[in-house]
Amino acid sequence: MGETVIPLADLRYAAAVPAIPSLAIAATGLLADGLGRPLRDLRISVTDRCNFRCSYCMPKEIFDRDYVFLPQTSLLSFEEIARTARLFVAHGVQKIRLTGGEPLLRKGLESLIAMLAELRTPEGLPLDITLTTNGSVLARKANSLQRAGLQRVTVSLDGLDDAVFRRMNDVDFPVADVLAGIAAADAAGLGPIKVNMVVKRGTNEQEIVPMARYFREQFGGRIVLRFIEYMDVGASNGWRMDEVLPSAEVLRLLQAEWPLVPLQASTAGETAERWRYADGGGEIGLISSVTQAFCQDCNRARLSTEGKLFLCLFATRGHDLRTLLRNGTSDADISSALAMVWAGRDDRYSELRAAQPNDASTGAKRVEMHYIGG
């Protein structure tokens, strides 16, 4: 028997194969971690590749033509993803978000969506299935995604000014094509659509008000625009605190134009602080991931493209589920291993960063955004 060759790209982030507990752990849909947080949301990255080179995620000077992405054989198959998702759903997951990289670059993604759309919670309810995209190919994919069973999309868009947008995506991609994708998704019924704008001080804060005005006027309140503080995800984006524009300042800019009324969270563990326009012109969200940590309610697990489970967006180590999926391990044993991993979770990076902003790095390499999704 020949030796198994593991591509170097697979070794980029440390991961151990989860232990299988000696006593089976039943899936009751009520799994909680070490801080009492339930498992409700699963983010699945379907590719580590992207056709944009946004400076805060995949800067071109690092992710150039020589960068080694994961080979096709390393990626989880759609069947492996669906099998894993089914086990997570039995433990309480109610929402699945497909991410990347750019997930629409994964060939035949509609087939995976159709598989996931067949899953049901322990109560017999369908899942909330959504997808985050840069919108570059959404115009031609929206209808097929909806037919496959996708319910909603979130589109990343960091400005309306074409020059600003082309500079931020760093591949000279026109903003008009992303706006066409959003319009196509709206027409296909992939809503409520959310548009995420990462705000980076000194780069695109002048786009805040124009973005709000555009989505108020063009979509009649159907689209929720969310402003995200520039985050220190990974180690390749050169993050600096002085480039973070706090959500409080974003809110001040918006309130100078339109009265806003606070809203209650729509679901437990929601990351966005919600506000609606007093005149009924729709809703905006503020994701204050740097200045107001929301770790205490985090109910999200993340599955990387090649089957590593990460328990935090800022994690340095994962748990290798692919080995269990491919070595004949039973569903019952994988389910028990998942339960034990989540039960031992105590991650709260953002709270600790806020409490100790000058804490020295341990030297461990944090997972990159393109690899695990947002």
Mean pLDDT computed over every residue of the chain? 90
Retrieve residue 212's tokens: 């709000």
**Least reliable range by pLDDT among 74-88, 134-148, 205-219, 224-238:** 224-238
Tens digit of each residue's pLDDT (9 = 90 or more) over 23-42:
999 999 999 999 999 999 99
Higher pLDDT, 374 or 82: 82
Say if residue 238's pLDDT is above 80: no
pLDDT score recorded for residue 359: 43
Retrieve residue 46's tokens: 């379907």
**Least reliable range by pLDDT among 143-157, 282-296, 352-366:** 352-366
Q: What Å distances lie between residue 134 and 76, 81, 86, CA to CA?
A: 22, 22, 27
In 3D space, the residue among 71, 65, 62, 53 whose CA is nearest the CA of residue 5 turns out to be 71
Tens digit of each residue's pLDDT (9 = 90 or more) over 45-77:
999 999 999 888 888 988 999 999 999 999 999
- For residues 201-218, one letter each, b for 16 or more C-beta atoms within 10 angstroms of the residue's C-beta and e for the rest, the string is bebbbebbeebbebbbee
Tens digit of each residue's pLDDT (9 = 90 or more) over 172-190:
999 999 999 999 999 999 9
pLDDT score recorded for residue 142: 98
pLDDT score recorded for residue 368: 74
In 3D space, the residue among 152, 155, 280 whose CA is nearest the CA of residue 211 turns out to be 155
Count CB atoms within 10 A of the CB of residue 343: 14
> pTM for the complete prediction?
0.92
pLDDT score recorded for residue 263: 95
- Residue ranges of domains in the chain: 8-22+29-372
pLDDT score recorded for residue 9: 77
Alpha-carbon distance of 361 to 374, in angstroms, equals 22
Question: Is 38 in a helix, a strand, or coil?
Answer: strand
pLDDT score recorded for residue 172: 97
Retrieve residue 323's tokens: 């080995």
Say if residue 234's pLDDT is above 60: no
> If you average pLDDT over residues 218-231, what whole number do you get?
92
Retrieve residue 197's tokens: 């704008």
pLDDT score recorded for residue 371: 73
Tens digit of each residue's pLDDT (9 = 90 or more) over 73-89:
999 999 999 999 999 99
Tens digit of each residue's pLDDT (9 = 90 or more) over 241-292:
878 899 999 999 999 999 999 998 877 767 889 999 999 999 999 998 778 7
Q: What Å distances lie between residue 148 and 87, 111, 112, CA to CA?
A: 21, 7, 9
CATH architecture of 8-22+29-372: Alpha-Beta Barrel (3.20)
Alpha-carbon distance of 194 to 223, in angstroms, equals 6
Rg (CA), the chain: 20
pLDDT score recorded for residue 7: 77
Calculate what percentage of the chain has a pLDDT beyond 70: 91
> If you average pLDDT over residues 337-353, what whole number do you get?
86
Say if residue 349's pLDDT is above 70: no
Alpha-carbon distance of 266 to 272, in angstroms, equals 10
> If you average pLDDT over residues 224-248, what whole number do you get?
80
Higher pLDDT, 350 or 214: 214
In 3D space, the residue among 39, 28, 55, 2 whose CA is nearest the CA of residue 240 turns out to be 55
Give residue 153's pLDDT band: very low, low, confident or very high (50, 70, 90).
very high
The residue type at 250: V
Alpha-carbon distance of 91 to 40, in angstroms, equals 8
Alpha-carbon distance of 310 to 303, in angstroms, equals 6
> If you average pLDDT over residues 144-159, what whole number do you get?
97
